[in-house]
Amino acid sequence: MKPFQPYPYAYIRGSITPIDEAKVSIMTNALQYGIAVYGGVKGFPTDKGLQIFKLDEHVDRLKRSCEFLKFRYDFDEQAIKQIFVQLVRCNKPTGVTYFRPFIYRSDTKISPDIAGEYDFALYMLDMPAYFDNTKGTSVCISSWVRNHQKMIPPHTKASGGYINSALAIDEAHQRGYDSAVMLDIDGNISEGAVMNLFIVKDSKLITPSDDSDILLGITRATVLDLAKELGLSAEQRKVSKEELFTADEVFFTGTAANVSWCRQVEDKTFGDRPGIITQRIMDVFEALPQTHPEYYTEIRH
């Protein structure tokens, strides 16, 4: 996979700066301890500018993550959205764009506590495609357990918590898989390393529930809404490993991955193309800019 190209301007410490100058001190607290939360937001080009998918929900999740973790949060959501607007106008993206907003502990005190100074930063990358959706995703079951809610709360996008995902992805790559599925502490399915997971059984969608140590994905919520519109029944509940292996279809959801069909879990192959229900979900998801313009915030260049 080619590295994604960054756009020339970023936002840090209260102003828009050339990306090469958007730097922090070696002593930055967040750099030592991962005391930060981040988001991943997608924008799609139009003739006039960019349509950003569910921007309000992403900005809200950033805020709720900070509040839950007791990070000092004195950022105004409207002001954060305005920074997206300003940065789009500076960078004038022409392709599919990935935004990385984050709030990080920016002071240089050498202690791993929560109290401290926090800064909001934002940069943008050109992101043509994350997974090759033509061949489907292969995953192993990770031997690493998903962060438990009493360890690093998985419903927050806490940066430090992603060591957990990184270990699972590394293990998957060592074993020749694209990515990993993680189990919760009780051995039930939690989610993919950086994606939520759905199974399809007897034409019904089933996805691990809130109490399965998942990130409550914005794409997951969208797919649950789409399922309702399509008249498909969808359950959010504990999902066992056995149910995953005996599913008719499996797919993943996430901002970077969109809806990605799963080809293989360990040595169980689900087929060489998306299942019928997965394909329907992929199709309606792709049509969202036309069918659900209300999901998008339009920013004109």
Spell out the residues 6+ positions from residue 77 whose beta carbon is closer than 8 angstroms to its own: 56, 59, 60, 63
Distance in Å, CB of 253 to ligand PLP, minimum: 6
Rounded least distance, CB 165 to ligand PLP, Å: 6
CA separation for the pair 294, 296 (Å, rounded): 5
Structural tokens at position 223: 């797919």
Task: Report if residue 208 touches ligand PLP, rule: CB under 6 A.
Answer: no
- Residue among 42, 54, 63, 157 flagged as catalytic: 157
CA dihedral 256→207→229→276, nearest 10 degrees, is 80
**Considering only residues 147, 219, 264, 278, which one is a binding residue for ligand PLP as defined by CB under 6 A?**
219
> Rounded to an integer, what distance in angstroms lies between the CA atom of residue 44 and that of residue 129?
12
| Residues between 119 and 178 that touch ligand PLP (CB under 6 A) | 165
Q: Does 101 bind ligand PLP (CB under 6 A)?
A: no
Binding mask 21-60 for ligand PLP (x = CB under 6 A): -------------------x--------------------
Name residues contacting ligand PLP, limited to 187-206 (CB under 6 A): 191, 194-196
Q: Which is nearer to ligand PLP, 100 or 241 (CB)?
A: 100
Instruction: From 72-80, 231-239, 250-258, 289-297, give the range in contact with ligand PLP by CB under 6 A.
Output: 250-258
CB of 191 to ligand PLP, least distance (A): 5
Q: Which residues contact 219 (CB under 8 A, 6 or more apart)?
A: 196, 253, 254, 255, 257, 258, 259
Q: What is the distance between the alpha carbons of residues 183 and 154, in angstroms, rounded to a whole number?
A: 13
CB nearer ligand PLP, residue 9 or residue 140: 140
Q: How far apart are CB 66 and ligand PLP at their closest, in Å?
A: 16
Return the SS3 of 205. Answer: strand
Query: Is residue 213 near ligand PLP by the rule CB under 6 A?
Result: no
Q: Which residue has the tokens 């969109």?
A: 258
Catalytic residue status for 157? yes
222: which 2 tokens?
A: 């969208």
The smaller minimum CB distance to ligand PLP, of residues 83 and 218, is found at 218
**Which residues have a Cβ under 8 Å from the Cβ of 110 and sit 6 or more positions away?**
27, 29, 32
Buried-exposed string 129-150: b where 16+ CB fall within 10 A, e elsewhere: ebbeeeebbbbbbbebbbbebe
Rounded distance, CA 279 to CA 59, Å?
30
Nearest to 209 by CA among 186, 240, 238: 238
Single out the residue of 255, 258, 278, 297 in contact with ligand PLP (rule: CB under 6 A): 255
184 scored as a contact of ligand PLP (CB under 6 A): no
8 A C-beta contact, residue 36 and residue 26: no
Q: Which stretch binds ligand PLP (CB under 6 A): 2-10, 19-27, 45-53, 215-223?
A: 215-223
Output the smallest distance, CB 290 to ligand PLP, in A: 20
Nearer Cβ to ligand PLP (9/99): 99
Site membership for ligand PLP, residue 218 (CB under 6 A): yes
Residues at the contact surface with ligand PLP, assessed by CB under 6 A = 40, 165, 191, 194-196, 215, 217-220, 253-255
Q: Which residues are catalytic?
A: 157
